Structure 1
Amino acid sequence: MHHFDVETLTAGRWRNDGGATRQIASRPAGDEDFVWRASIADIDRDGPFSAFPGVDRTLTLLAGDGVRLSCPGVFDRLLERAGEPFAFSGDLALAAELPGGACRVLNIMVRRGRATARVERVTGRVVPPSGHAGVLHVLGGHWQAGTDGPVLAPGQGVWWDADAQAPGGAVAPLSPDATALWADVAPAG
């Protein structure tokens, strides 16, 4: 497992200068034709979202007053509750509107036909299925990766490859207020 802290990840500005992305993991590493990718995005202003043809995306609000994603004739969705994932096709040309100012989101992307992703809010022990990759991002409380792994606080987390085994077999909550987002990335069918 690989540990991350959002605040120490390198931020890269978007081409349209509407925000910045902090990449957690991309597999294969450095490959534009990724199978899966996880990142944290800081959205600073209204504007277009880049299309990712052939990619399925799940966006989850982490902080801020929300973001409205719209694609004329397809959907108009306000993500206003932190920790509620929203899945959509990366093929779509979307517009983002920030009704309450800047926000931060977790962005999980998988290449259609090569991987699938399920993102959910969890409060209990997470045991990654064998052969799956994934990310666990702490929203609240404290968590521990394995029996001897680091104690994780909000804004921190762990990620693993499909061929890795979680240390101690699980990521477990350590406090009663522990909540996290778990992105389970499975090989496609």
Structure 2
Amino acid sequence: MHHFDVETLPAGRWRNGGGATREIVSWPVGAEEFQWRASVADIDRQGPFSAFPGVDRTFTLLSGDGVRLTAPGTFDRTARPEEPLAFSGDLELTAELRGGACRVLNIMTRRGRRAARVDRITGPAVLPSGHAAVFYVLRGHWRTGTGRRPLAEGQGVWWDEHDTTPDRAATPLSPGAVALWADIAPVT
């Protein structure tokens, strides 16, 4: 398992100036083309989103009032707090901010090679072996694995499908603890 704290990840500005991305992981690490990618994006202003042909995305609002994503005639959905929203990276989307800047967790998978499912969890969970995953704390404190230090808001862990960590349990350590768990499975 690889630990991360979003606030210590370097932020790269978008080419269009509308936000910044803090990459958690792009797998395989160092490869020219990712199989899957996890990042946290700060969206500062409304405008076009970059298309990612051949990629499926799941977008979860972490802070802010909402983001409406539209592609004329094909897609019109609003991302609401802590509700994963899946969509095709092929779409030429425009983002409309509801009430100002926001932050999102963005999970991207290469279509036909990996598939992601993002769930909001509030209780103990056992994370499957043979899958990659990203575990991100929204509120409270959590423990993942045996002997790991507790994770707080904005922190998490990720691993690839080859990780041999024997204990993949996630346990809330405080009342009202909430986390996001992105299960990233190979497509067979």
Shorter-chain TM-score range: over 0.9
Q: So what's the TM-score if we normalise by structure 2? A: 0.97
**Alpha-carbon shift at residue 74 of structure 1 (Å):** 1.1
Question: Partner of 2:54 in structure 1?
Answer: 54
- State the secondary structure of the residue aligned to 2:109: strand
Question: Partner of 1:31 in structure 2?
Answer: 31
- State the secondary structure of the residue aligned to 1:91: coil
CA contact (8 A) 1:22 1:39 kept: yes
4+ runs deviating over 6 angstroms = none
Q: Deviations 1:139-162 (Å, cap 9, x if unpaired)?
A: 111101212002001111110111
Matches within 5 A, 1:98-177: 98-166=97-165, 168-177=167-176
**Counterparts of 2:76 and 2:165 in 1: how far apart (Å)?**
38
Counterpart AA for 1:60? T
Segments of 5+ residues of structure 1 without an aligned counterpart are none
Of 159-168 and 83-92, deviating more is 159-168
CA contact (8 A) 2:128 2:168 kept: no
CA contact (8 A) 1:149 1:167 kept: no
**Alpha-carbon shift at residue 171 of structure 1 (Å):** 1.9
Question: Partner of 1:91 in structure 2?
Answer: 90
CA contact (8 A) 2:3 2:157 kept: yes
Counterpart AA for 1:161? D
- Identity rate, percent: 69
Distance 1:167 1:19, change over 3 A: farther
**Alpha-carbon shift at residue 167 of structure 1 (Å):** 5.3
CA contact (8 A) 2:9 2:24 kept: yes
Segments of 5+ residues of structure 2 without an aligned counterpart are none
CA contact (8 A) 1:160 1:166 kept: no
**Counterparts of 2:152 and 2:141 in 1: how far apart (Å)?**
5
